[in-house]
């Protein structure tokens, strides 16, 4: 029998298997690196996209915050204008009050009564004067009560005094002005229109 040496053949098979293993290992490693790179790129893109969305939302929120601040300022200005409007309307409705008061005082003043001072505080009027008798003061109070613009006369004090060597009665009384009441139904409604043809 011829002796055959198989050692070189086995060594060649081992070397081929080793080469094949390293090639496969390199391919698997390359595939793994490629997969990691793809996943990293995908997630980096997603993060960048989300950061962009967040920046957009922050910009829009800042715009809305500015608009809310402007709305608050407009509400404050509107409230201030409404308060001014109320003051102007109050002044306009009561602008003839002093003239009406003086007119009523002159009209309701009986003979023998002289006024010394008149002081108005809001709707309240304090009147100080002289009368020749207590009956004249009573007449003045009845006249005030009957007036459509004056109400609730109240005598504070009456005392005897001497003025220019004449005996008189000095009186102090309070009376209230009758102010026109604003109808809430009319305040919110526009003026009625005339008949339409």
Q: What is the mean pLDDT of the chain?
A: 83
Hey, what are 192's tokens?
């009625």
Q: How confident is the model at residue 147, as a pLDDT?
A: 84
What is the rounded radius of gyration, in angstroms, for the C-alpha atoms of the chain? 51
Q: How confident is the model at residue 5, as a pLDDT?
A: 61
Per-residue model confidence as pLDDT tens digits over 153-188: 888 888 888 888 888 889 998 988 876 554 444 444
Q: How confident is the model at residue 151, as a pLDDT?
A: 82
Q: Is 131 exposed, middle or buried (0-12, 13-18, 19+ CB in 10 A)?
A: buried
Q: How confident is the model at residue 194, as a pLDDT?
A: 45
Q: Is 151 exposed, middle or buried (0-12, 13-18, 19+ CB in 10 A)?
A: middle
Q: What value does the mean pLDDT take over residues 112-119?
A: 87
pLDDT at 91 > cutoff 80: no
Determine the Cα–Cα distance for residues 35 and 125; give it in Å rounded to an integer: 96
- 167 forms beta bridges with 162
Give the Å distances, CA to CA, from 154 to 2, 124, 127, 159, 176: 155, 11, 10, 15, 9
């Amino acid at each position: 029998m011829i002796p055959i040496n198989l050692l070189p053949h086995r060594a060649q098979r081992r070397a081929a298997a080793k080469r094949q293993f390293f090639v496969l290992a390199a391919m698997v490693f390359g595939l793994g690196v490629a997969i990691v790179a793809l996943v990293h790129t995908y997630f980096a893109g997603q993060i960048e996209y989300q950061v962009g969305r967040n920046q957009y939302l922050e910009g829009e929120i800042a715009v809305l915050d500015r608009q809310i601040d402007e709305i608050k300022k407009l509400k404050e200005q509107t409230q201030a204008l409404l308060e001014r409007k109320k003051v102007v309307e109050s002044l306009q409705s009561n602008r003839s009050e002093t003239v009406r008061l003086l007119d009523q005082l002159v009209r309701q003043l009986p003979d023998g009564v002289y006024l010394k001072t008149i002081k108005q505080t809001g709707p309240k009027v304090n009147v100080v004067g002289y009368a020749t008798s207590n009956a004249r003061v009573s007449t003045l109070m009845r006249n005030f009560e009957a007036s459509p613009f004056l109400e609730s006369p109240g005598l504070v004090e009456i005392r005897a005094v001497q003025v220019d060597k004449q005996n008189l009665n000095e009186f102090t009384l309070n009376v209230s002005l009758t102010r026109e009441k604003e109808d809430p139904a009319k305040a919110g409604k526009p003026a009625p229109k005339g008949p339409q043809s």
